[in-house]
């Protein structure tokens, strides 16, 4: 199978997850007061003095989305090289990202509209895990494939 066709679903799911992250970051920025009101009421027990601390933490998401975007661009380019380390990084993104999204949904740290986006992210990351653990993709990144590629 052609490497591009083999990796296309993986790369598309990486970018779809990034797109959802960007949308959630933009919505967090646009509706920051709504998010903060929710967090003060639900996480800080209505203590308005905690608002500034929660506001500082709220900005972690847009900053992390920028960093993740750069990492995703690099990973997408490196997937075509067939490096096993890149494959393991994509697996880690799928597992840790899905676990993080599920934690955020269960912990109810954000309003319902934001949790819907986090559920969508978890589903995309589950699909990524499925795509990246398919037999042909695993074979492409197996240690034996790396040996064949360097000796060919």
In this structure, are residues 9 and 131 in contact, taking their beta carbons and an 8 Å threshold? yes
Question: Does residue 12 have a pLDDT over 90?
Answer: yes
Comparison of pLDDT for 4 and 125, the residue scoring more: 125
Residue 51 CB partners (closer than 8 Å, separation 6+): 36, 40, 44
Q: What b-and-e string marks burial along 66-82, b requiring 16 or more CB atoms within 10 Å of the CB?
A: eebbeebeebbeebeeb
Segment 11-39 mean pLDDT: 88
Residue 20 CB partners (closer than 8 Å, separation 6+): 117, 120, 121, 124
Q: Residue 1: pLDDT band by 50, 70, 90 thresholds? A: low
Eight-class DSSP state of 150: H
Residue 45 CB partners (closer than 8 Å, separation 6+): none
Question: Does residue 62 have a pLDDT over 80?
Answer: no
Range of the domain at 71: 3-151
Per the structure, the count of domains in the chain is: 1
Give the span between the Cα atoms of 35 and 54, in whole angstroms: 10
Q: Among 63-77, 81-95, 98-112, 119-133, which range has the highest average pLDDT?
A: 119-133
């Amino acid at each position: 199978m052609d490497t591009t066709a083999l990796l296309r679903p993986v790369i598309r799911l990486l970018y779809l997850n990034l797109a959802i992250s960007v949308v959630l970051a933009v919505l967090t920025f646009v509706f920051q007061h709504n998010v903060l009101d929710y967090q003060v009421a639900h996480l800080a027990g209505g203590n308005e003095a905690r608002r500034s601390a929660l506001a500082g933490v709220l900005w972690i998401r847009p900053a992390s989305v920028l960093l993740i975007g750069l990492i995703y661009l690099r990973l997408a380019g490196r997937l075509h090289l067939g490096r096993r380390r890149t494959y393991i990084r994509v697996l880690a993104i799928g597992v840790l990202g899905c676990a993080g999204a599920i934690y955020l949904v269960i912990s109810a740290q954000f309003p319902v509209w934001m949790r819907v986006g986090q559920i969508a992210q978890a589903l995309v990351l589950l699909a990524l895990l499925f795509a990246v653990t398919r037999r042909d993709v695993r074979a492409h990144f197996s240690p034996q494939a790396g040996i064949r590629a360097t000796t060919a």
